[in-house]
Amino acid sequence: MSLEPRLFCFWTGSNAMSSDRLKALNSMSATELDVIFIDKDELCSWEIKNSPFHPAYKYLSPIDRGDYLKCYFMHHYGGAYSDIKVLEDSWLSSYNELFGGDFLINGYREVNPIQTARGRGFIKDVWLALNFFRIIGCGAFICKPNTAFTSDWIDTVHKILDKKYQLLLENPPRDPRDFYLKKQVDGSRSSYPLRWTEICGEVFHPLCLRHNKKLIKTLPTPDFKKPYL
């Protein structure tokens, strides 16, 4: 199995990208993959007629939209994905390693226990943190499409959005980085119904443990230390 070596990235908001983000976007060509940048105006051309975006998509915060799209694209299209971060290394060997073998996804090992997703309950959160070395980070990866991993991923995300759909209609995000109970300027707490990692790490990280024997971790880690305003 082989796919065109391309790298998807998204900008789902209406705001302009900062100079730091533009520099990061320009750096992504270092991967030697074909960088496909998709903004809100181009997104409709990628929606699959028989597998449309979940109807809750338009009520998500820009951050959650990005989390949804990485799942949707990796399931239906496969290839590589990255948050818009500085990338300084070639991804070709990692790409070829994935598609030349029986693995389902290639990523970078999660940076540390603190970066694992939280919100599913104390015991589950602690277990995930203790096993951080067995999972891959949510910020960049390469996937084969339509696999057991991506099917579990998108099915779980859609179940969450089905459950939260009415609440999303009634409680739209107040800012691009909104999340449940986020403290507002006026001292109140946000009613936006999704936790910070509810449709991203809280789904993705447990799936990494479930499908651990089908993961590889040879992808260079993006630069998370630079400012990304």
Tokens 């277990």 correspond to: 127
| Residue at 99: amino acid letter | F
Cα–Cα–Cα angle for 107, 151, 199, nearest 5°?
Answer: 70
pLDDT at 1: 61
Residue 100 counted as domain residue:
yes
pLDDT at 103: 97
Burial 119-150 (b: 16+ CB within 10 A, else e): ebeeeebeebbebbeebbbbbbbbbbbebebb
Q: Count up the domains in the chain and report the number.
A: 1
pLDDT at 122: 83
Residue 223 counted as domain residue:
no
Residue 228 counted as domain residue:
no
pLDDT at 68: 98
pLDDT at 2: 59
Mean pLDDT by 10 residues, the chain (229 residues): 86 90 96 96 96 97 97 98 96 96 96 82 83 92 98 98 98 94 92 97 95 96 81
Q: From the CB of residue 227, how many other CB atoms can be counted at a distance below 10 Å?
A: 8
Residue 229 counted as domain residue:
no
Residue 118 counted as domain residue:
yes
pLDDT at 180: 95
Task: State which residues form the domain around 207.
Answer: 6-216
Token reading at 103? 């693995």
